[in-house]
Homo-oligomer: A and B are copies of this chain.
């Protein structure tokens, strides 16, 4: 058990917080999208929040916690969905939210501190005509390092692929968890050591991202009376090399009408939609394609009146995991999955899953580039009944060649590729020899003998016990 007062004293003038209600709140993310994680993690809380504002302060927190043997779980804005930043064994939650300056903007690149909010980065790069390549639907709150440590892509992935594709992050500074923490600069392939590692093997203190041309993206909602027509239209436009999109997503009826409440005035219950962000100079040719595909244009931000636009969230807040969030606000019993529909059979796979599950698993696709080709990943809504039916739904997807990245698991391996990442494991040995960083998330570290091919769910022995009622 962490001696909170001793730790506070040792941290001196570094900002800390030990009010249990606030600590608990800052120990949580959006894990409750999953009924399974909700049961497993709802009681989890840290003992102390430490909020360093500089790399030197990060180093002091780490060397202090290392000396005391206290676990440290880094956190950006807490917008994760699988408990990425939840301190399973308690200890210090290292909040990087206040270590957040944009340090420099150059042509094609920006250097920021870890807690810099993505939307704030763009506010500072846009005057020069530039913006970051991609962002999750939590753009307005998510932090740069949190996105890199816990995210995988988002709006912009239709053009640039995933965050882990080489070139989408240019550089990271990392502090290690050792008696005397080291500062390492990673570039090129070395970045893979820590990307999407949930902060289990180093603390990010600086991020260098590539920038691209900024545009006043036009938001479009195209409506179809049939979901597969929407999917085919999305696939058609996503493969137009001459058209510049930032986002192409499909959502099956009745989800848009039932859950997109502030956009409901543009929708009918039977509308399946394609949600699009397109460059202003591509709107004419886009309209030509929409007319040829008999898409019904339900909303265009560049043509809507101020009255129509009043109170609307940005369109990207209907996409990625905001689709699920909007559903949960209306119907807390739903949940979701994360599916990959591999190229070149992605449209067929979607059609097959749609036919098998119907309204039990209403479709939601995010089109994106993957190894040079356009395919789609899905975050379908699942009308949850039981854990075993959820497992069955997952199995049917996998049996049909659609891998699942299970959002109902808190470990890197089970939520990811279901295999050990030898590079990240080796780097954890180097950078976190005592295993104090974000305990319980890397199975390969906690239990090298665990069989990832079994049907067993990993249960971290260090997970805080649920208090007796």
Contacts and interface: CB of A to CB of B under 8 A. Distances in A.
Interface of A: 107-109, 128-130, 159-162, 165-168, 170-171, 187-189, 210-213, 215-216, 238-244, 279-282, 284-289, 292, 344, 369-374
A289 B108 contact: no
B166 A242 contact: yes
Given A107-B215, A107-B280, A108-B215, A241 B285 contact: no
Contacts of A162: 241-242
A242 B374 contact: no
27 contacts: A108-B215, A108-B279, A109-B281, A129-B129, A165-B241, A166-B243, A166-B285, A166-B288, A167-B242, A167-B243, A167-B244, A167-B282, A167-B285, A168-B241, A168-B242, A170-B281, A170-B284, A188-B285, A188-B288, A189-B285, A210-B281, A213-B213, A240-B372, A241-B369, A241-B370, A241-B371, A372-B373
A286 B170 CA distance: 11
Contacts of A286: 167
Closest 10 A-B residue pairs measured CB to CB? A161-B241, A239-B372, A167-B242, A188-B288, A108-B281, A165-B242, A213-B213, A168-B242, A241-B369, A167-B243
Nearest to A109: B281
A179 B370 CA distance: 54
B371 A239 contact: yes
Contacts of A282: 167, 210
A130 B130 CA distance: 11
A107 B130 CA distance: 12
A216 B107 CA distance: 9
Contacts of A374: 372
Contacts of A210: 242, 244, 281-282
B188 A372 contact: no
A128 B127 CA distance: 12
Nearest to A238: B372
A282 B108 CA distance: 9
A282 B289 CA distance: 33
Given A161-B241, A210-B281, A213-B213, 7 more contacts: A107-B215, A107-B280, A108-B279, A166-B288, A188-B284, A188-B288, A239-B371
A51 B240 CA distance: 37
Given A166-B285, A213-B213, A189 B292 contact: yes
Contacts of A370: 241
A459 B468 CA distance: 94
A287 B188 contact: yes
B289 A166 contact: yes
A373 B286 CA distance: 19
A234 to B, nearest CB: 12
A10 to B, nearest CB: 39
A165 B240 contact: yes
Nearest to A235: B372
Q: Which of A109, A165, A242 has the most CB of B within 10 A?
A: A242
Contacts of A188: 284-285, 287-288
B160 A242 contact: yes
Of A188, A289, A374, most B-chain CB atoms within 10 Å: A188
A280 B165 contact: no
Nearest to A287: B188
A189 B372 contact: no
A277 to B, nearest CB: 14
A240 to B, nearest CB: 6
A292 B188 CA distance: 11
A89 B11 CA distance: 89
Contacts of A369: 241
A184 B372 CA distance: 39
Contacts of A280: 107-108
Contacts of A216: 107
Nearest to A292: B189
> Which of A160, A167, A212, A372 neighbours the largest number of chain B CB atoms within 10 Å of its CB?
A167
Contacts of A213: 108, 129-130, 212-213
A107 B189 CA distance: 35
A361 to B, nearest CB: 27
A212 B215 CA distance: 10
A373 B373 CA distance: 5
A282 B373 CA distance: 20
A126 to B, nearest CB: 11
